[in-house]
């Protein structure tokens, strides 16, 4: 009898797709070790390419997720209204409270990254433990990428908010201890989950290996390359994979090609809108920092995306 496939795959040993992700990550880290100058020369191109080819499309099918979650109650008009309203409110929030908006974006992204990686964890009666797991994993990943490329990270932060983060410079020497603490916290949590039988031995070993792989990626690659590889291979493609598996319960023939066709219109529209906004900003000089504008645009898309994904992930398969 054929073993049924799970809708939520574990991104650890024994999974064929994960093997490709791990090998790809290892290859990029090795390339960074051997040819660091080459990665520095292509990091912006690689970053933009991965964001718009993989990153944006993974959120361009949120209407499909909402349709799955609501079934016959789904309304495309209601979906668009909620999406646009949330994005607009967040844009207004950015105008009045830019620092709080950035912090909110970081917290949301941290949870979202951890959720896509650890969604398979089996602990439905302990939602607080799931949230803690998501936040720890997401914090570790983001902190590795940002802090292990601090010179690049500092240039971006100081350009967005000049002088605001200067007090942090005196604490940067504590980075090894901080990352070490996050590493120990994640290891301890995974061991606890294994003892509680919330994950298997193979999943435990896989997640421990992931922690090492992530820190290797962050250490040997430039900031934008490390983030792009994580965001593209680890987060976006993993999310797409989960989406396809769940949608197939309602649409058995939904494939990768089906996903690409569904994502293309909104992905292309997003690319056009982003380009237009950057051109307008360049002409009118509304924001001096292109990094800040990029953060604002991405966060406006991220907030409604995370909410729709949360509902999609927690919706039971229709009987």
Find the domain containing 185 and state its range. Answer: 16-314
Give me the pLDDT at residue 124, please.
66
Q: Quick one: which of 93, 66, 27, 92 has its CA closest to 266?
A: 66
Flag whether 73 is in a domain: yes
Number of domains in the chain: 1
HEC string of the chain equals CCCCCCCCCCCCCCCHHHHHHHHHHHHHHHHHHHCHHHHHHHHHHHHHHHHHHHHHHHHCCHHHHHHHHHHHHCCHHHHHHHHHHHHHHHHHHHHHCHHHHHHHHHHHHHHHHHHHHHCCCCCCCCHHHHHHHHHHHHHHHHHHHHHCCHHHHHHHHHHHCCCCCHHHHHHHHHHHHHHHHHHHHHHHHHHHHHHCCCCCHHHHHHHHHHHHHHHHHHHHCCHHHHHHHHHHHHHHHHHHHHHHHHHCCCCCCCCHHHHHHHHHHHHHHHHHHHHHHHHHHHHHCCCCCHHHHHHHHHHHHHHHHHHHHHHHHHCCCCC
Would residue 285 count as lying in a domain?
A: yes
89 within some domain: yes
Residue 299: closest CA among 10, 52, 104, 21:
104
The pTM (predicted TM-score) of the whole model is: 0.90
Residue 265 lies in a domain: yes
Give the residue ranges of the chain where pLDDT is below 50.
Answer: 1-5, 318-319
pLDDT value for 7: 65
319 in a structural domain? no
pLDDT at 4 (0 to 100): 41
Average pLDDT of the chain, as a whole number: 88
> Residue 226 domain-assigned?
yes
Q: Please give the pLDDT value at position 13.
A: 66
pLDDT at 318: 42
Task: Tell me whether residue 273 is in a domain.
Answer: yes
Residue 6 lies in a domain: no
């Amino acid at each position: 009898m054929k073993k049924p496939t799970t809708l939520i795959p574990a991104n650890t040993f024994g999974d064929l797709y994960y093997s490709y992700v791990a090998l790809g990550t290892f290859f990029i880290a090795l390339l960074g070790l051997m040819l660091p100058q080459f990665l520095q020369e292509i990091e912006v191109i690689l970053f933009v390419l991965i964001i718009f080819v993989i990153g944006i499309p993974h959120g361009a099918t949120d209407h499909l997720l909402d349709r799955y979650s609501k079934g016959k109650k789904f309304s495309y008009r209601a979906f668009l209204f909620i999406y646009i309203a949330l994005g607009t409110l967040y844009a207004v929030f950015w105008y009045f409270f830019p620092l709080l908006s950035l912090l909110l974006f970081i917290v949301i992204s941290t949870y979202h990254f951890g959720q896509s990686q650890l969604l398979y964890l089996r602990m439905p009666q302990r939602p607080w433990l799931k949230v803690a797991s998501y936040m720890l994993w997401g914090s570790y990943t983001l902190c590795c990428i940002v802090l292990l490329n601090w010179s690049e990270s500092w240039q971006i932060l100081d350009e967005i908010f000049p002088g605001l983060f200067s007090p942090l410079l005196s604490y940067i020497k504590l980075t090894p201890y901080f990352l070490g603490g996050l590493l120990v916290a994640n290891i301890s949590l995974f061991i606890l989950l294994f003892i509680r039988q919330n994950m298997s031995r193979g999943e435990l070993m896989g997640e421990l290996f992931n922690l090492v792989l992530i820190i290797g990626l962050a250490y040997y690659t430039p900031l934008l390359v490390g983030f792009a590889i994580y965001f593209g291979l680890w987060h976006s493609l993993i999310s797409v994979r989960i989406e396809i598996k769940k949608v197939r319960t309602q649409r058995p023939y939904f494939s990768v090609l089906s996903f690409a066709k569904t994502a293309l219109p909104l992905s292309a529209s997003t690319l056009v809108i982003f380009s237009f906004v950057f051109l307008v900003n360049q002409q009118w000089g509304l924001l001096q920092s292109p990094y800040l504008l990029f953060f604002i645009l991405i966060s406006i898309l991220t907030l409604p995306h995370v909410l729709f994904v949360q509902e999609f992930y927690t919706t039971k398969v229709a009987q």
